[in-house]
Structure 1
Amino acid sequence: MDLGPHHLRMIEAIAATGSISKAAARLGLTQPAVSTMLRRVEGHLGAQLFVRSPEGVTPTPVGAEVATRARAALAAIDDLNAALAHRLPAAPPLLRIGIQACPALTGLGGHLDALRPDARLQLRVDPGGGRIPALLGSGALDIGLFQEPAGHDPRPRDGLRRLVLVEREPLLAGMSAAGPLAAGPAVDLADLADRDWLDDPLDDGPWPAHFRAVCAAAGFTPRVRYWSSDWQISASLIRSGRAVGLYQPTAASRDGIAFRRIAGDPLAQRVVLMWRPEAEPAAERLRAAFTGVYLGLVQAQRIYREWWDEHPEAHPALLAARVPEGGPAPGTRAPSR
């Protein structure tokens, strides 16, 4: 294995920040990815570069020398790139978007190129929304669209704009259509206490802890026995009656699966748009595109459509952003929240 610039930037970032997690945020990577890369580099060099302690990460003598040489090498690489940039045609700007996987994402594909026509698009889709705010804060993303539990107190992110598009989106219980609980229009959360649950092992956001806290308030600990991030496998487990799961209310219907409201809507989430100030025009266009796609999904799902009409307070920002189909993106500035 040869050391490349990405290895050198990783070493320099750890030495500069004194932290694996802070280095990961600076590089736009996850902490496990940086830890794995560091182990590979140390294995290649045959020497330990950093020592972990409660106070952070400090370089060993070998690590300090490697970090010093890495800074010099990176400076030379950056100087070369800068010199060549004056001789080469300017590359188009890059628009980096992170979106949490959601039903609306399938309808946004046709709108992405219009967000900033002069830019190259880079799209990141995460199963959970946990990484997206951190990547925005580190400068690794320009725009993020994700969900978080309703009532969640988000960590402040300096220099970022934030708009809650949907204040409250109730999650539905998905269960076998042949089961007894599917007979009624709604179920109590406590009625699911003795059922096996299915969960997504890749959700790294605040939702898993929130889900367990809500279940605890209902008097039980959810018995999660199935873990799957593949919707087809998840659907087969629920359809067969082996498990129950949670679905976003905009999800398309599934053969053999009944979606039911949970009485009182104890499990709900917000839909959040966050962006860096320089990406505001593209964020406005994404907001308009999402509005059209999302409202179409609302109308297509009877259970959610009825709830939506009963709760206008849950989505004032989304309705305010609505524009005629095919019309321009809103020109007014979105408020920060």
Structure 2
Amino acid sequence: MELELRHLRTVRAIADTGSLTKAAAALGLAQPALSAQLRRIEKALGGVLFERDHTGARPTPLGELVLERARVVLPAVSELQAEAVRFANATGAMDRFRLGGTHGPLLGGLVDRLATAHPSAPVSTYASWSVAEIASLVIDGRLDFALIGACGESPPPMADRLVWQVVGVDPVFVMLPENHPLAGEPELGLAALSGECWADVPGDGCFADCFAAACARAGFTPVSVYETDTSSVVHLVQVGRAIGLCRATFPPTPGLVTRPITGSPLSWRHLLGWHPRSPAADAAAGAVSGLTRSAYAEAVSRSPDYAAWLAAHPAFGTVA
């Protein structure tokens, strides 16, 4: 029998779990089948890899040697596969732009600028609530750039494999119907809104937990929180069903006002990401970064109230 990658994965699983029973469950095998496979591996390698008794399975010196090699070989093969996928999906030059983004205010502005700067290069977009999904598509070479958001100081997804640039930092504002009793206030404390229902967009980051924590610090628990798409959040606020949470760059909308929260307890970072070894990194990362910053500056300028607020709060806004 020739040793295969699946055999190394078997040895690693037994070592990681410390038990043939647990390893079989992790690998989706019956324990007798795993035991038989281990015997074949040991025969091929010329010795016993694990000492087994009622307490579990522990590597022998030969087993430690095999594990040491397996923990080098398996990640290297995984990286090779990922590189091959990126190569197969790459165009070799930026004759097209494939963008992924969450449902924020900057994706449309970036598409517009790319179409102007590169009129012969098609621009395609993929939108998702999941920043992890978008990051995975960039790693696989199916997207060139990711334009996402992250709550507060939380790390972006797959930060060890992708390059991320912070484009801008916004406070989170409250969105109210223009006839709300507090709509005329220059800023609002969360405690003043303790009796309200809330609405915001979904995501797989920590924003929901951070909002709940901010409310707890203000002395209350939200009555309810509707998680839905942006247009539905706007509708719920317009009809008085809820008040919304939004980035400060949310564009002016008829029937609504946005107001800062006292103390800015919640913030949102706009991030641009790409794979450091992709064709996009060499061909266009600097240019796309500049265009994204331009799109962010335009989003800020569309809200005179936010632009004025920024003048007194220099910790927010464009990041150099």
TM-score (norm 1): 0.61
What is residue 286 of structure 2 aligned with on the other side?
284
Q: 2-side partners of 1:254 and 1:164: how far apart?
A: 26
What is residue 217 of structure 2 aligned with on the other side?
217
What is residue 110 of structure 1 aligned with on the other side?
112
2:303 is matched by which residue type in structure 1?
A: Q
Listed as ranges, the matches of 1:66-77 within 5 Å are none
Q: 1-side partners of 2:187 and 2:203: how far apart?
A: 26
* Number of equivalent positions: 245
| CA 59–122 in structure 1, closer or farther in 2 if over 3 Å, else same | farther
> 1:234: how far off?
2.3
Query: Does the 8 Å CA contact 1:135/1:141 hold for their aligned counterparts?
Result: yes
> 1:273: how far off?
1.4
| CA 92–192 in structure 1, closer or farther in 2 if over 3 Å, else same | closer
1:56 is matched by which residue type in structure 2?
A: A
Which stretch of structure 1 is more off in the superposition, 146-155 or 127-136?
127-136
| CA 156–255 in structure 1, closer or farther in 2 if over 3 Å, else same | closer
What is residue 84 of structure 2 aligned with on the other side?
none
Query: Does the 8 Å CA contact 1:198/1:245 hold for their aligned counterparts?
Result: yes
Q: 1-side partners of 2:219 and 2:179: how far apart?
A: 26
Query: Does the 8 Å CA contact 2:107/2:147 hold for their aligned counterparts?
Result: no
Query: Does the 8 Å CA contact 2:251/2:303 hold for their aligned counterparts?
Result: yes
Query: Does the 8 Å CA contact 2:99/2:125 hold for their aligned counterparts?
Result: yes
> 1:131: how far off?
2.8
| CA 54–314 in structure 1, closer or farther in 2 if over 3 Å, else same | farther
Q: Please tell me whether residue 308 in structure 1 is matched to residue 307 in structure 2.
A: no
Q: Cα deviations across residues 223-282 of structure 1 (Å, max 9, x unaligned)?
A: 225342151x32222122220111222222222212111111111111111111232232
Unaligned runs of 5+ in 2: 1-5, 11-21, 35-87
| CA 286–185 in structure 1, closer or farther in 2 if over 3 Å, else same | same
1:209 is matched by which residue type in structure 2?
A: D
Q: 1-side partners of 2:101 and 2:194: how far apart?
A: 32
Unaligned runs of 5+ in 1: 1-13, 19-51, 65-84, 321-337
Q: 1-side partners of 2:30 and 2:142: how far apart?
A: 29
Query: Does the 8 Å CA contact 2:167/2:296 hold for their aligned counterparts?
Result: no
What is residue 207 of structure 1 aligned with on the other side?
207
> 1:126: how far off?
1.8
Query: Does the 8 Å CA contact 1:198/1:234 hold for their aligned counterparts?
Result: yes
What is residue 127 of structure 2 aligned with on the other side?
125
Q: Cα deviations across residues 118-137 of structure 1 (Å, max 9, x unaligned)?
A: 86644211235343334434
| CA 190–145 in structure 1, closer or farther in 2 if over 3 Å, else same | same
- What is the SS of the residue equivalent to 2:165? strand
| CA 260–284 in structure 1, closer or farther in 2 if over 3 Å, else same | same
Listed as ranges, the matches of 1:1-337 within 5 Å are 56-58=26-28, 95-113=97-115, 121-154=123-156, 157-166=159-168, 168-200=169-201, 202-231=202-231, 233-277=232-276, 278=278, 279-280=280-281, 281-315=283-317, 317=319, 320=320
| CA 250–316 in structure 1, closer or farther in 2 if over 3 Å, else same | closer
2:144 is matched by which residue type in structure 1?
A: D
Q: 2-side partners of 1:165 and 1:147: how far apart?
A: 10
> 1:94: how far off?
6.2
| CA 58–225 in structure 1, closer or farther in 2 if over 3 Å, else same | same
> 1:54: how far off?
9.8
| CA 269–227 in structure 1, closer or farther in 2 if over 3 Å, else same | closer
Q: 1-side partners of 2:214 and 2:8: how far apart?
A: 41
Q: 1-side partners of 2:116 and 2:292: how far apart?
A: 13
| CA 212–53 in structure 1, closer or farther in 2 if over 3 Å, else same | farther
| CA 92–141 in structure 1, closer or farther in 2 if over 3 Å, else same | closer
Identity of aligned residues (%): 29
Q: 2-side partners of 1:124 and 1:107: how far apart?
A: 15
Query: Does the 8 Å CA contact 1:172/1:260 hold for their aligned counterparts?
Result: yes
1:258 is matched by which residue type in structure 2?
A: V
Query: Does the 8 Å CA contact 2:300/2:307 hold for their aligned counterparts?
Result: yes
Q: Which entry has the higher C-alpha Rg, 1 or 2? A: 2
